[in-house]
Amino acid sequence: MATKKNNTLKLKFESARSYAPAPESRSAATINERYELFINGKFDKPQGKKYFDSINPATEEKLSSIAEAGAADVDRAVKAARNAYDTTWKKMPGKERGKYIFRIARMMQERARELAVVETLDGGKPIRESRDFDVPTAANHFFYYAGWADKLEYAFPAKKPQSLGVAGQIVPWNFPLLMAAWKIAPALATGNTVVLKPAENTSLTALRLAEIIQEADLPPGVVNIITGAGATGAALVNHPDVNKIAFTGSTEVGKIIARSIAGTNKKATLELGGKAANIIFDDAPLDQAVEGVVNGIFFNQGHVCCAGSRLYVQESVYKEVLRKLKDRLETLIVGDPMDKNTDIGAINSKEQLNNINKYLKIGQQEGAEMYQSSVPIPAKGFYCRPTIFTNVAQSSRISQEEIFGPVLTIQTFRTEDEVIEKANNSPYGLSAGVWTDKGSKIFNLTTKLRAGVVWANTYNQFDPASPFGGYKESGYGREGGLHGLAPYLNLS
Amino acid sequence: MATAAKKNSVKPLARQDENGIPPKRLEVLKTYKIYIGGKFPRTESGRYYKAINKDGGVLANLCLSSRKDFRDAVIASRTAFGDWSTRAAFNRGQVLYRIAEMLESRKAQFIHELILQDIPASAAETEVLLSIDRLIYYAGWCDKFQQIFSTVNPVASSHFNFSVPEPTGVVSIIAPEENSLLGLVSAMSAAIAGGNTCIILASYSKPLCAVSLAEVLNSSDVPGGVVNVLTGKASDLIPYFADHMDVNAIVICDRGADVTRLVQEKAAINLKRVTIYDQINWLSDDGQSPYFIMDLQEVKTTWHPIENIGGSAPGY
């Protein structure tokens, strides 16, 4: 702690952390012992009769057994989707399609608490976040796109939009329900049918969504949800009767998908990794900026593809920002995700924790200085203290590679041109942040940063009406807003 | 270098009549060179091929561009991108218009070159005139497509949020073999109208107009490096066009399933955006639209908080 000479008030962390526990009740949701595949409107056993465990990363307890879809199951799901496309969904007037999607949104809102509890138990994210962000934003996404279903021709001047057919969709484990909504809602609104595969660590809320879809009386086969790991995803990507692939995940897998669909007519949307620069100028409101940096990197344990993982601070305010940041770090509560006081929950899986720890080692070996808050973490479960690295080089692996955890690197800069150069010096280009009180500087930066989403004096904001997606190796295509319709349509 | 074509040259490079008597005035032949960074170098490979018409007449010696030429062109393109992409859209429109002016004033040369390359006279004229008009068409779009494809997004939180198209970056373009001028002009115009810079591989069998177009570009206030033109063998060069790490997008025109697949596989190395133009009738209105510009654009979304003081409603 490098706070020797400062006369400002210091927060008393001991008292800040001693909140009484405020746990959310598990009884808001029941979790079955076993979950099957959702194909053609029914929950069905996998043909290979294989199941895998889903555990709670906060406690390492087993939550449920999940069906593993093999190639034959993938084929059944695609056939069901094709049949539903040909017989009902393609022909249905947009306004009727829209009403189904509205219905799904409403039912998600009705079951919001249950969904939030399941999301937190399954994925380890703080209940506050599941409750206030993931679940409502997911429902809103359906509500937003429902309204587009009968208005598509207004979105594309001089073109006739037409649906593609069957969309194969693969979503990651960081925002399981929200990503499923980002995928399914626009696909349905544009008249496509869906086969969705959630990540193997976090299948439960997608399967809840399957129940909702069943309850909403969506025609059988319009949405199919099949669970499994990478092999299931590969079978879906390579299925010859799929017209569209939508994938959110790592850049590495995104490239494999791009290669494997080469030479086919499959369209693709790829939402991949990121290593966002978050830039603080000396004229920024520093307290707000520090809040934004904390939200930018520690939101969802840093399991966010657009996380602001590279902090650039103008030299003249570096010391002050660093002190404020370290102070703020001490107040973050790490622990039981079901506790409403928790700021940072459990790391999603053991593998991911190992991966983060690997980078903590690399950072130190590369000569960077590591600082972690002194917060206690539970003995059981997968946890990582919020971590910052100073004395980081632009070429360091920890400032070039995506860590996907609560790990922030800090570098300094002097001029605008310098920080633009440094920020853009990355194969990624998903998002960026700028903090300054000067409007012209904001627009200079937001214009020159090569990233799909730029937050100025804010960070990690999301909305169904707002397009999201990357430049460069962060992938292609947009999700959300009007621009999120195009990847699911042929324009003739 | 340009003395290669003697016996079998028909009209194009005829230097003597049937009796071997030289003309009164010897025609000065043009050396067809490549165009990189606003300059006309020869290929660093030192290799060449002969452009031949259907009667076997040699039209000219053309550069067989190499991987090194392509890499040099990428550097020139990347260097030019910063300036070109941040110019006022209005200014880009004026530059495209200027290209059309220059092409108009030299249309006879282009028609002549197309005829030399076996295009019937009337079709040659049509192609050149349409090429000029296409430049005008895209000149007009430079400062308008953003208005069509941008959105202000009504987010639920207290933020101002908008999305605008921005150029993808450096684009490699494999121009079509046929419509060697119009196809190239169409793909190029859409790319640079949107603020991208590009490296174009010209038609192998009909390369003359591409090189002459480079000369037009050179006198049209198009900054060096914004458009680079290479001639050579597609099979040699396409893999490099597709897998260079500093190229952001690739456009391929009418290259068939195998080449398309190869390009898509190689482009995955840095997730290049791949745009395929197969069987587009460049001669019709289907060969032009702002959607061609959008094929080489990224959509950027910007957020900023709106201060909501005391929740006050706006007055009149």
The ipTM of this complex is 0.95
For residue A19, the model assigns a pLDDT of 83
Q: Distance between alpha carbon B139 and the CA centroid of its chain, in Å?
A: 14
Q: Are residues A226 and A119 in the same domain?
A: yes
Say yes or no: A268 and A303 in one domain. no
One domain for residues A278 and A289: yes
| B30 lies in some domain | no
Report the relative pairing of strands A244-248 and A166-170 from DSSP bridges. parallel
Residues A178 and A289 placed together within one structural domain of the fold? no
In angstroms, the separation between the Cα of residue A164 and the nearest Cα of chain B is 17
| CA–CA min distance B154, chain A (Å) | 6
Question: Is residue A466 one of the residues assigned to a domain?
Answer: no
Here the CATH number for the domain that contains residue A421 is 3.40.309.10
- Which of A251, A447, A463 minimises the CB distance to B153? A463
Q: Are residues A259 and A326 in the same domain?
A: no
Q: Do A262 and B157 touch (CB under 8 A)?
A: no
More reliable by pLDDT, A16 or A258: A258
**Cβ of A465 and B153 within 8 Å?**
yes
Same domain, A200 and A93: yes
Percentage of chain A beyond pLDDT 90 is 96
Domain count, chain A: 2
| Coil vs helix vs strand at A277 | strand
Please state the rounded mean pLDDT for residues A386-409.
Answer: 97
Collect all residues of chain B within an 8 Å Cβ-Cβ radius of residue A454.
300-303
Task: Give contacts of A140 with chain B, Cβ < 8 Å.
Answer: 156
Residue B288 covered by a domain: yes
Q: In this complex, how many residue pairs, one in chain A and one in chain B, have their CB atoms less than 8 Å apart?
A: 109
Q: Are residues A335 and A475 in the same domain?
A: no
B308 interaction partners in chain A (CB closer than 8 Å) = none
């969309």: which residue's tokens?
A167
Q: Answer yes or no: do A132 and A216 share one domain.
A: yes
Catalytic site residue from A36, A200, A271, A402: A271
pLDDT digits (tens, 9 = 90+) for A125-164: 999 999 999 999 999 999 999 999 999 999 999 999 999 9
Residue range A184-211: mean pLDDT, rounded: 98
**By the CB < 8 Å criterion, does A155 face chain B?**
no
Report whether pLDDT(A6) > 70.
no
> Quick one: A266 and A284 in the same domain?
no
Domain residue limits at B168: 67-305
The answer as to whether A117 is a domain residue is yes
CATH of the domain at A229: 3.40.605.10
B221 within domain boundaries = yes
CA separation, residue A235 to residues A70, A166, A169, A346, B305 (Å): 8, 14, 12, 31, 43
Does a structural domain hold residue A152?
Answer: yes
A contacts of B307 (beta carbons < 8 Å): none
Q: Are residues A282 and A263 in the same domain?
A: no
Angstrom distance (rounded) from CA B151 to CA B297: 14
For residue B161, tell me if it sits in a domain.
Answer: yes
What CATH number does residue B193 fall under? 3.40.605.10
Cross-chain CB nearest to B301 (options A427, A453, A473):
A453
Whether residue A18 is contained in a domain is answered as no
- 3-state secondary structure labels for all residues of A335-363: CCCCECCCCECCCCCHHHHHHHHHHHHHH
Tell me: do A163 and A50 sit in the same domain: yes
Containing domain of residue A424, as a range?
274-456
The answer to whether residues A334 and A214 belong to one domain is no
Residue B22 vs residue A201, higher pLDDT: A201
Is A119 among the catalytic positions? no
Identify whether the C-beta of residue A223 lies closer than 8 Å to the C-beta of residue A186.
no
pLDDT tens sequence for chain B (316 residues): 344 444 444 455 555 677 778 888 888 999 999 999 999 999 999 999 999 999 999 999 999 999 999 999 999 999 999 999 999 999 999 999 999 999 999 999 999 999 999 999 999 999 999 999 999 999 999 999 999 999 999 999 999 999 999 999 999 999 999 999 999 999 999 999 999 999 999 999 999 999 999 999 999 999 999 999 999 999 999 999 999 999 999 999 999 999 999 999 999 999 999 999 999 999 999 999 999 999 999 999 999 999 865 555 655 5
Residue A464 lies in a domain: no
Q: B35: Cβ–Cβ under 8 A, 6 or more apart, which residues?
A: B211, B214, B217, B218, B227, B228, B229, B230
In a domain, B154, yes or no: yes
**In the annotation, is A369 catalytic?**
no
How close does chain A come to B94, measured CA to CA in Å?
22
**Residue B278 within any structural domain of the chain:** yes
> Total domain count for chain B?
1
